[in-house]
Amino acid sequence: MSCFAFAVLCPIRQDAAYFGLFGVLFAAAVGVSTGNNWCRALAKLLLPPELYRHLRHSGVLSDTLLPNGWEWNLFVNRLTAAVVVVLLMQLGINFAPTAESIRVTLEWRDLRYTVPVGRRRQRTSKTILEGLSAVLPPGRLLAIMGPTGCGKSSLVNALAGRLPAGGSLEGEVLVNGLPRGRGFKSITAYVMQDDVLFPNLTVFETMEFAARMRLPPSVSAAEKAARVEAVINELGLAKCRDTYIGSAFVRGVSGGERKRVNVGVELLSNPQLLLLDEPTSGLDAFQAQNVMESLQNLAQGGRSVVATIHQPRSSIYSLFDMLLVLSEGRDMYYGPAGEAVAWFESCGFACPAHYNPADFFADIVAIDHRSPAAEEASKARIALLVDRFNQRQQQQREAEQAAAVPAEDQAAMEKINDRPSFPNPLPTEFSLLLRRAWKQQSRDRLPQVITLVQTLVLGFVLAALFSDIPTTLAGAQDELGVLFMSCMFNTMASIFASLNTFPAEAGIIQRERISKAYHVSPYYVARFLCDLPLRVAQSLLFGVIVYWIVGLKGTAAAFFIFCALTILLALASQALGVAVSAACPSEKVAFAVAPGITVILMLFAGFLVTYESIPAWLRWICYLSHLYYAFMGLTINNFRGSSEWSCNTSATPGCAGASGDAILTRLGFEGKGVWEPFVGLACLALGYNLAGYAVLRFSKQKFIPLTASTAKKRA
Ligand SMILES: Nc1ncnc2c1ncn2[C@@H]1O[C@H](COP(=O)(O)OP(=O)(O)OP(=O)(O)O)[C@@H](O)[C@H]1O
Ligand SMILES: [Mg+2]
Summarize pLDDT for 497-523 with one digit per residue, the tens.
Answer: 888 777 778 878 887 887 788 889 999
Among 174, 218, 192, 210, which Cα is nearest to 419's? 218
Distance CA 396, CA 546 (A): 80
User: How many angstroms is it from 190 CA to the middle of ligand 2?
Assistant: 14
Element (H, E) at 600: helix 587-603
**Closest residue (by CA) to atom 20 of ligand 1?**
149
- On whether both 341 and 459 belong to a single domain, the answer is no
Ligand that comes closest to the CA of residue 192: 2
Between the ranges 373-382, 400-409, 627-636, where is the mean pLDDT highest? 627-636
Which of 150, 157, 327 to mutate for ligand 1's pocket (most ligand atoms within 8 Å of CB)? Answer: 150
**74 φψ region: left (φ > 0), alpha (ψ -120 to 50), beta (else):** alpha
- On whether both 244 and 338 belong to a single domain, the answer is yes
- On whether both 288 and 385 belong to a single domain, the answer is yes
- On whether both 539 and 643 belong to a single domain, the answer is yes
Q: Look at residue 393 and tell me if it is in a domain.
A: yes
User: How many angstroms is it from 576 CA to the middle of ligand 1?
Assistant: 36
Boundary of a domain, candidates 358, 381, 410: 410
**Closest residue (by CA) to atom 7 of ligand 1?**
115
| pLDDT at site 398 | 60
**Closest residue (by CA) to atom 31 of ligand 1?**
149
712 has a pLDDT exceeding 60: no
Host domain of residue 663: 426-698
**Closest residue (by CA) to atom 12 of ligand 1?**
128
**Closest residue (by CA) to atom 30 of ligand 1?**
149
Is the separation of the CB atoms in 309 and 145 below 8 Å?
yes
149 lines ligand 1 (CB under 6 A): yes
For 405-424, what is the mean pLDDT?
77
Roughly how many angstroms between the first and final C-alpha of the chain, as a whole number?
Answer: 56
651 has a pLDDT exceeding 70: no
What does R_g of the chain's alpha carbons equal in angstroms? Answer: 32
111 has a pLDDT exceeding 80: yes
Q: Look at residue 632 and tell me if it is in a domain.
A: yes
Q: How many CB atoms lie within 10 A of CB 582?
A: 23
Among 23, 99, 52, which Cα is nearest to 417's? 99
- On whether both 401 and 430 belong to a single domain, the answer is no
* Distances 691 to 366, 526, 528, 577 between C-alpha atoms, Å: 50, 16, 13, 11
Q: Is 601 helix (H, G, I), strand (E, B) or coil?
A: helix
Q: Look at residue 170 and tell me if it is in a domain.
A: yes
pLDDT tens-digit series, residues 438-464: 998 888 888 889 889 999 999 999 989
Strands (E), 75-187: 106-117, 124-136, 141-145, 168-175, 178-179
Residue 167, strand partner residues = 165
Distance CA 30, CA 38 (A): 8
Distance CA 201, CA 508 (A): 13
For 532-558, what is the mean pLDDT?
91
Q: Which atom of ligand 1 is nearest to the CA of 277?
A: 22
Q: Look at residue 100 and tell me if it is in a domain.
A: no
Distance CA 582, CA 254 (A): 30
Strands (E), 328-433: 330-336
Distance CA 305, CA 400 (A): 20
- On whether both 402 and 433 belong to a single domain, the answer is no
User: How many angstroms is it from 10 CA to the middle of ligand 1?
Assistant: 49
| pLDDT at site 652 | 66
532-551 in b/e form (b: 16+ CB < 10 A) is: eebbebbbeebbebbbebbe
117 lines ligand 1 (CB under 6 A): yes
Between the ranges 18-32, 76-90, 461-475, 680-694, where is the mean pLDDT highest? 680-694
Among 639, 628, 643, which Cα is nearest to 676's? 628
Distance CA 274, CA 308 (A): 11
Please report how the helices 556-583 and 587-603 are oriented relative to each other, as an axis angle in degrees rounded to 10. 140
Residue 189, strand partner residues = 274
pLDDT tens-digit series, residues 573-626: 999 998 898 888 888 898 999 999 999 999 999 888 888 888 989 999 999 999
Which of 145, 154, 193, 306 to mutate for ligand 1's pocket (most ligand atoms within 8 Å of CB)? Answer: 154
Distance CA 506, CA 342 (A): 48
91 has a pLDDT exceeding 90: no
- On whether both 385 and 451 belong to a single domain, the answer is no
Q: Look at residue 150 and tell me if it is in a domain.
A: yes
Element (H, E) at 276: strand 273-276
Q: How many CB atoms lie within 10 A of CB 21?
A: 16
271 lines ligand 1 (CB under 6 A): no
Torsion angles phi and psi, residue 436, rounded to 5: -65, -45
User: How many angstroms is it from 155 CA to the middle of ligand 1?
Assistant: 10
Q: Is 287 helix (H, G, I), strand (E, B) or coil?
A: helix
Strands (E), 542-689: none
433-470 in b/e form (b: 16+ CB < 10 A) is: bbbbbebbbeebeeebeebeeebeebbeebbeebeebe
Higher pLDDT, 327 or 642: 327
Distance CA 705, CA 158 (A): 9
19 has a pLDDT exceeding 70: no
Q: Is 207 helix (H, G, I), strand (E, B) or coil?
A: helix
Distance CA 380, CA 365 (A): 11
Between the ranges 31-40, 314-323, 405-414, 461-470, where is the mean pLDDT highest? 314-323
Ligand that comes closest to the CA of residue 165: 1
Element (H, E) at 224: helix 221-234
**What is the residue-wise DSSP string for 483-498?**
HHHHHHHHHHHHHHHH
| pLDDT at site 2 | 45
Torsion angles phi and psi, residue 36, rounded to 5: -75, -25
User: How many angstroms is it from 672 CA to the middle of ligand 2?
Assistant: 62
Our measurement of the distance from residue 494's CA atom to the centroid of its chain's CA atoms, rounded to an integer in Å, reads: 22
**Closest residue (by CA) to atom 6 of ligand 1?**
115
Is the separation of the CB atoms in 605 and 627 below 8 Å?
yes
**Closest residue (by CA) to atom 28 of ligand 1?**
149
pLDDT bin (cut points 50, 70, 90) of residue 35 is very low
Is the separation of the CB atoms in 290 and 259 below 8 Å?
no
287 has a pLDDT exceeding 80: no
Ligand that comes closest to the CA of residue 128: 1
Distance CA 462, CA 602 (A): 19
Torsion angles phi and psi, residue 467, rounded to 5: -75, -20
User: How many angstroms is it from 367 CA to the middle of ligand 2?
Assistant: 17
The length of the chain in residues reads 715
Torsion angles phi and psi, residue 10, rounded to 5: -120, 45
Higher pLDDT, 672 or 481: 481
34 has a pLDDT exceeding 50: no
**Closest residue (by CA) to atom 19 of ligand 1?**
149
User: How many angstroms is it from 309 CA to the middle of ligand 2?
Assistant: 9
354 has a pLDDT exceeding 70: yes
Q: Which atom of ligand 1 is nearest to the CA of 193?
A: 27
Contacts of 209 (CB under 8 A, 6+ apart): 201, 432, 435, 436
| pLDDT at site 24 | 47
Is the separation of the CB atoms in 708 and 174 below 8 Å?
no
Q: Look at residue 713 and tell me if it is in a domain.
A: no
Is the separation of the CB atoms in 251 and 199 below 8 Å?
no
115 lines ligand 1 (CB under 6 A): yes
- On whether both 237 and 381 belong to a single domain, the answer is yes
| pLDDT at site 28 | 46
Q: How many CB atoms lie within 10 A of CB 285?
A: 12
pLDDT tens-digit series, residues 52-86: 665 665 555 554 455 555 566 666 666 666 666 66
Looking at 235-332, list the stretches that DSSP marks H as alpha helix, in order from N- to C-terminal side: 255-267, 285-300, 314-317
Ligand that comes closest to the CA of residue 145: 1
150 lines ligand 1 (CB under 6 A): yes
- On whether both 359 and 236 belong to a single domain, the answer is yes
Is the separation of the CB atoms in 227 and 215 below 8 Å?
yes
For 392-405, what is the mean pLDDT?
66
**What is the residue-wise DSSP string for 13-41?**
STTHHHHHHHHHHHHHHHHH-S-HHHHHH
Residue 650, strand partner residues = none
Residue 304, strand partner residues = 273
User: How many angstroms is it from 321 CA to the middle of ligand 1?
Assistant: 25
Q: How many CB atoms lie within 10 A of CB 567?
A: 21
Q: Which atom of ligand 1 is nearest to the CA of 164?
A: 1
Q: Which atom of ligand 1 is nearest to the CA of 154?
A: 18
**621 φψ region: left (φ > 0), alpha (ψ -120 to 50), beta (else):** alpha
Torsion angles phi and psi, residue 106, rounded to 5: -105, 130
pLDDT bin (cut points 50, 70, 90) of residue 250 is confident
Element (H, E) at 394: helix 372-402
Q: Look at residue 712 and tell me if it is in a domain.
A: no
CATH number of domain containing 361? 3.40.50.300
- On whether both 194 and 131 belong to a single domain, the answer is yes
- On whether both 19 and 118 belong to a single domain, the answer is no
Between the ranges 109-123, 189-203, 259-273, 477-491, where is the mean pLDDT highest? 477-491
Domain count, the chain: 3
- On whether both 640 and 539 belong to a single domain, the answer is yes
DSSP class of 338 = G
User: How many angstroms is it from 153 CA to the middle of ligand 1?
Assistant: 7
128 lines ligand 1 (CB under 6 A): yes
Q: Which of 34-48, 98-112, 670-684 is least confident?
A: 34-48
Higher pLDDT, 171 or 424: 171
Amino acid identity of 499?
L
Amino acid identity of 338?
G
**Closest residue (by CA) to atom 10 of ligand 1?**
128
Q: Look at residue 601 and tell me if it is in a domain.
A: yes
| pLDDT at site 341 | 92
| pLDDT at site 371 | 84
Q: Which atom of ligand 1 is nearest to the CA of 326?
A: 21
153 lines ligand 1 (CB under 6 A): yes
Among 81, 97, 95, which Cα is nearest to 9's? 81
Distance CA 447, CA 485 (A): 22
230 lines ligand 1 (CB under 6 A): no
Distance CA 574, CA 438 (A): 17
pLDDT bin (cut points 50, 70, 90) of residue 337 is very high
Distance CA 648, CA 623 (A): 36
User: How many angstroms is it from 127 CA to the middle of ligand 2?
Assistant: 16
DSSP class of 367 = -
pLDDT bin (cut points 50, 70, 90) of residue 177 is confident
User: How many angstroms is it from 127 CA to the middle of ligand 1?
Assistant: 10
